[in-house]
Structure 1
Amino acid sequence: MSTLRTIHDVPVFLCAAEGEAICGEREALDLIGNASYQGAQWVVLPVERLADHFFQLSTRVAGDIAQKFVNYRMGLVVLGDISRHTASSTALRDFVRESNRGRQLWFLTDLDELRERLKP
């Protein structure tokens, strides 16, 4: 079950770890629509909901999904441990580092880290 929560005056759509896998743009658009309807500015998506090919940059899935969130002016947080993916891919480590420097896509380990980032 997904819920809308406010963190430091920012509406955040928290997705449950269980549920439909986000495999591509169609599922991303459904998620953006649901979150937008509820007034969210950020979507927090547990890593368990992402198909493994999201983390293989050559598939372009991560970029395509991230672009949908950019187009709809909504932030995306991938929440959880992605170390098994980053351990085997320098390109993914670089992508995560660059994403975390921005204001659109973050890879965070837990909600405490998100609270810190959303502090005014």
Structure 2
Amino acid sequence: MKIVIDQRNDSKVAIVHSEAIIINNVNDALDLMADVHYNNGCSKMILREEQLTGDFFELRTRLAGEILQKYTNYKMKLAIVGDFSGVTSKSLKDFIYECNQGDNVLFKPTEAEALDRLHRIAI
């Protein structure tokens, strides 16, 4: 895993690069958040859809809710980049829509869009 920092003025976003799944459970998510915050000085991060276990997107597992609640509580802004246009689950579509209405968790199709949005969010 490699973390690259994108900085624009006073805004810093950690972009997490990995070919492997790095979040399989809540503890993985907390460890990553701590790494990004304490070792890289960021309160905003970008993950790719492929870096999250498939259970994250199965809302009935409640994994997404648990992880995102922790990130919100600790004021970590998160953008998940991926192609969500083919999502067929109504509940997942609704979840993504609702997340995108706020500033805590975003689902974006490209890294550039995620960066633009995260850099506009004040901490």
Report the TM-score when normalising by structure 1.
0.89
What is residue 51 of structure 1 aligned with on the other side? 53
What is residue 10 of structure 1 aligned with on the other side? 11
Q: Deviations over 1:10-69 (max 9, x none)?
A: 111100142443111100001110110111121101111011111110000110110110
| Number of aligned residues | 118
Which letter maps to 2:61? Answer: T
| Residues 8, 115 of structure 1: 8 Å contact kept | no
Report the TM-score when normalising by structure 2.
0.87
Distance (whole Å) between structure 1 residues aligned to residue 72 and residue 12 of structure 2:
17
DSSP-derived class of the 2:12 partner? strand
Q: How does 1:1-120 map to 2 (within 5 A)?
A: 1-7=2-8, 9-37=10-38, 38-84=40-86, 86=87, 88-117=88-117, 118-119=119-120
Identity %: 34
| Residues 10, 41 of structure 1: 8 Å contact kept | no
Name stretches of at least 5 consecutive residues in structure 2 with no aligned partner: none
RMSD: 1.6
Distance (whole Å) between structure 2 residues aligned to residue 33 and residue 115 of structure 1:
20
Distance (whole Å) between structure 1 residues aligned to residue 8 and residue 111 of structure 2:
10
Which letter maps to 1:105? Answer: V
Name stretches of at least 5 consecutive residues in structure 1 with no aligned partner: none
